[in-house]
Amino acid sequence: MTTSLEFHNPALLWLLALLPVLIVLRGRAGRNAAMVFSSVALAKRVSGKTRTRAGAFLFFLRLMALAALIVALARPQLGRGHSEVETSGIDILLAVDVSGSMRALDFATRDDLANRLDIVKRTVSHFIEQRPNDRIGMIAFAKEPFLVSPLTLNHDWLLKLVDNLKIGRIDETATAIGPAIGMASNRLRDLPAKSRIVILLTDGEDTVNKIPPVAAAEAAKAFGIKFYTIAAGSGGNVPMPRVNARGDYLRDRAGRIVYDMVPSRVDDKTLQEVADVTGGKFYHATNREELASIYDEIDQLETTKIKLKHYSTYDELFIWPTLLALGLIGLEQLLANTRFKRIP
């Protein structure tokens, strides 16, 4: 429920700008004097008395009454209403590979030595920011999958969790794509959303061999879950930085990152099958620009329909400035005929 003060005829409020004009006009010279004095000394002494300020005070009351009448004519209203937002109910689960190979620097540039995971985190964060009306959750996987966040509309909290993703918090020596698909499906299977999708990103192939990825995808299809799969990284040999026990990059005496060229292989065929089985789509990104465009395309494919309903009721408030104006006029007339009465 929200309340707001509005005016039905707001254009009339411009009439308030005429009030300073009236003040200026009153200050100009008036009519010729009815009586001529040989000296103004008497008038000077009288003008210093408090009572001679009565005219200014009465004029001020008339101005305030006029201002109140203008506000009344503009019809102030107190609006009380509420809005309802109806969305299409898309639930999105992000599955991100955090195995050791995500340290590869094939997405890096001369000015930005970011590894694959760094670029993925930036891209995913932008995707989350573009979907404020959807429930979004996240899992990460290496040798085993783990839940980063359940589905939530608290995207500020989710963005902080994305920023805290690190390689090495779980065993980074393998890639469990099949178990990741299984966990993602279990997080979505019983939810009443109209559309349930998983965006799975990996730079390798399933090396755990616990659950075949395509078999896990068949199970997801039975629950109406769609998978968009993304293969991230270049094929062939890629620069892999050396790290210490804490996961920090090793550098030479000149401060340059020490790296080795290691083979990189992505199982495009399996990821394509996973997407095809569930009615999704497969992508392959070999640089940061392609990765960003992929998430943008998915954002367009899975649009959220928003319907806004707004209800309002209004209480008329013009009676109050009208009563104020009448009261000021009455006070002005009372004072003008009693305490501040003028002699012709």
pLDDT tens for 130-177 read 998 889 999 999 999 999 999 999 999 999 999 999 998 889 999 999
Q: Using only C-alpha atoms, what is the Rg of the chain?
A: 37
d(CA 327, CA 141): 75
Beta strands in the chain (DSSP E): 2-7, 76-86, 90-97, 135-141, 145-152, 195-202, 225-232, 236-241, 259-264, 281-285, 307-316
Q: Is the pTM of this model over 0.85?
A: no
Non-local (6+) Cβ contacts of 113 within 8 A are 105, 257
Q: Are 184 and 198 a contacting pair, CB within 8 Å?
A: yes
* Model confidence band, residue 101 (pLDDT cutoffs 50, 70, 90): very high
Q: Domain count of the chain?
A: 2
C-alpha triplet 197, 198, 199: angle, nearest 5°: 125
User: If you search the block for the tokens 């009153």, which residue do you land on?
Assistant: 26
Among the listed residues 87, 50, 85, 119, the one whose alpha carbon sits nearest the alpha carbon of residue 302: 87
268 shares a domain with 291 = yes
**Is residue 75 domain-resident?**
yes
pLDDT at 51: 47
93 shares a domain with 78 = no
Non-local (6+) Cβ contacts of 328 within 8 A are 61, 62, 64, 65, 68
49 shares a domain with 35 = yes
61 shares a domain with 135 = no
230 shares a domain with 196 = yes
169 shares a domain with 137 = yes
pLDDT at 307: 63
For residue 152, what are the β-bridge partners? 136
pLDDT at 32: 47
**Is residue 344 domain-resident?**
no
Among the listed residues 183, 232, 169, 167, the one whose alpha carbon sits nearest the alpha carbon of residue 204: 232
Higher-confidence residue of 171 and 81: namely: 171
176 shares a domain with 252 = yes
**Is residue 342 domain-resident?**
no
What residue numbers bound the domain in which 323 lies?
2-82+313-336
Q: What is the pLDDT of residues 185-196, one digit of tens each?
A: 999 988 877 789
Query: What is 248-280 written as a DSSP string?
Result: PBPB-TTSPBPEEEEEE---HHHHHHHHHHHT-
**Is residue 343 domain-resident?**
no
**Choice among 79-83, 101-105, 298-302 with the minimum mean pLDDT:** 79-83
For residue 288, CA distances in Å to 109, 114, 143, 341 come to 10, 10, 25, 85
**Is residue 251 domain-resident?**
yes
Which two structure tokens, joined as six digits, stand for 207? 């090396």
**Is residue 133 domain-resident?**
yes
324 shares a domain with 282 = no
d(CA 141, CA 265): 17
